[in-house]
Amino acid sequence: MDWLEALILGALQGLTEYLPVSSSGHLAIGSYLFGVNPDDNLTFTVAVHVATVLSTLVILWKEISWIFRGLFKGQLNDETRYVLNIIVSMIPVGIVGVFFKDAVEEVFGSGLAIVGTMLLVTALLLTFSYYARPRQKETISMRDAFIIGLAQAAAVMPGLSRSGSTIATGLLLGNKKETLAQFSFLMVIPPILGEALLDVYKAVAHGSEAAVGNISPLALGVGFLSSFVFGCLACKWMIDIVKKGKLVYFAIYCAIIGVITLACSFS
């Protein structure tokens, strides 16, 4: 992997982790076009995931500091309830990630056919959430947090957008747009870090060659910075998009890319 490929793949990771178009699906498509196998460059995979988390911390720093200030008060307040909801939302993805992720990848793989199919599923979810008009709720309940967490766990499927699934599910449950995007991006931090730790474990299990692959320090640094910068842009942009209710445009995009990907998989 040279620095230009790292730049593009890093940008794809940063952008698509937050935009509801599936980062795993776009990385699979990008890797296919460049002839790059992500499993042969696990260090790069870990680097772009960590960069994505850092971009979230930068953009949502005010919200994160608000949560920590409330936690240090040592009482059951809004901040503590918020953290409890995030913990509850992590339960499904934690179970799937630890016990079933490899099984899912083994059964479905990450080929273009499954990526294209899941992109179409993402398009359907975003479309339903755009036209649905449920009764609006003031706050995200623990029950809703768990259901949103189930949607995040389902996004282990390559091509099924994590942000698209969680935000669409929250909207269908009637949660307010103003708080949903923020919650969706904060709840994704632990799973992304957990996924990075699993990649580190894979790297150790496969040896140093699989960990480093054929990527140079320059390309690794370029990929990290690219993922961080585009992650910041996408995170801020997506929060504004959700508030304005413009997710249907991403549904159209996912449908088009899904059809093209399916066509390429059968060609």
Chain-centre distance for alpha carbon 263: 25
**What pLDDT is stored for residue 33 in this prediction?**
74
Residues 202-248 have pLDDT tens digits of 666 665 555 555 678 888 899 899 999 999 998 888 888 887 777 88
> What percentage of the chain reaches a pLDDT higher than 70?
87
SS3 175: strand
Contact in structure between 106 and 157 (CB atoms under 8 Å): no
Contact in structure between 27 and 230 (CB atoms under 8 Å): no
Q: Which residues contact 234 (CB under 8 A, 6 or more apart)?
A: 14, 15, 16, 17, 18, 19, 55
Q: What is the value of pTM for the model shown?
A: 0.81
Residues 144-177 have pLDDT tens digits of 999 999 998 888 887 888 888 999 999 999 888 8
Q: Distances in Å between the alpha carbon of 102 and those of 152, 183, 198?
A: 16, 27, 11
Identify the H or E element spanning 115.
helix 112-131
**What pLDDT is stored for residue 124 in this prediction?**
93
